[in-house]
Amino acid sequence: MTTASTDIGGGPPLWVRLCHWTNAVVFLLMLTSGWQVFNASPFWIDHFPTALTLGGSLPGALLWHFAGMWVLAANGIVALTLLAASGRLRHLYLSLGRSHKPGGERSRVQKIAYLGVLVLLTLEILSGLAIWKPVQLQALTQLAGGFQRAREVHFICMALLGMFVAGHVVLALSSPRLLLAMLGLNRRTR
């Protein structure tokens, strides 16, 4: 299966769209529950407005956050496996030159941005593990600079991912053709 053949006419394959929208929902869940967790012990800023948080309290927010974590992990494994197996990972993310194949084109800037997101997600996961299990994963926690530093890294990566998502949404809304393709509504008639 080639990348180009799956993108021509109808946009990304169904599995790409399902993984993408699963990530979108889970990111929102983890962001808002993470803000509630942050509010239990804030640093740098006072707090996030309660109306923007999920969970109602620290225990409730942790339950939502960990539930989202497992869905995100499962979805990430599925997405990375299918990206690698289909060749999309290499074609769309790892080759920094432009491809001459139709469909699925990304500029160098886009590829670097998406690679940056993968790095941020990796840091977010590692720092999250360091603060979730600081005793069991004390080597990781110490590598991050200790529990509080791991929280700060987690917070910074969350903020950067949030900025990426905000920019991503603005760009998607400014390109209705691509947005419709990601919704599976952009089918060419023959």
Domain assignment of residue 93, yes or no: yes
Domain assignment of residue 189, yes or no: no
Span 140-183, pLDDT tens digits: 999 999 999 999 999 999 999 999 999 988 988 888 888 888 88
pLDDT score for 4: 39
Choose between 3 and 12: higher pLDDT: 12
Domain assignment of residue 188, yes or no: no
Span 100-104, average pLDDT: 49
Span 36-74, pLDDT tens digits: 999 999 999 999 999 999 999 999 999 999 999 999 999
CA–CA separation, 95 and 99 (whole Å): 8
The domain that holds 178 is classified in CATH as: 1.20.950.20
pLDDT score for 187: 54
Domain assignment of residue 42, yes or no: yes
Domains in the chain, number: 1
Domain assignment of residue 14, yes or no: yes
Share of the chain above pLDDT 90, in %: 61
Closest CA to 184 of 8, 9, 3, 17: 17
CA–CA separation, 7 and 127 (whole Å): 35
Domain assignment of residue 102, yes or no: yes
Q: Look at the pTM and tell me if it is higher than 0.85.
A: no
Q: Domain range spanning residue 173?
A: 3-182
Residues in Cβ contact with 40 at an 8 Å cutoff, skipping those fewer than 6 apart: 58, 61
Cα dihedral value 7, 167, 117, 138, nearest 10: -140
Domain assignment of residue 187, yes or no: no
Domain assignment of residue 190, yes or no: no
Crossing angle for the helix pair 14-40 and 58-86, nearest 10 degrees?
Answer: 150
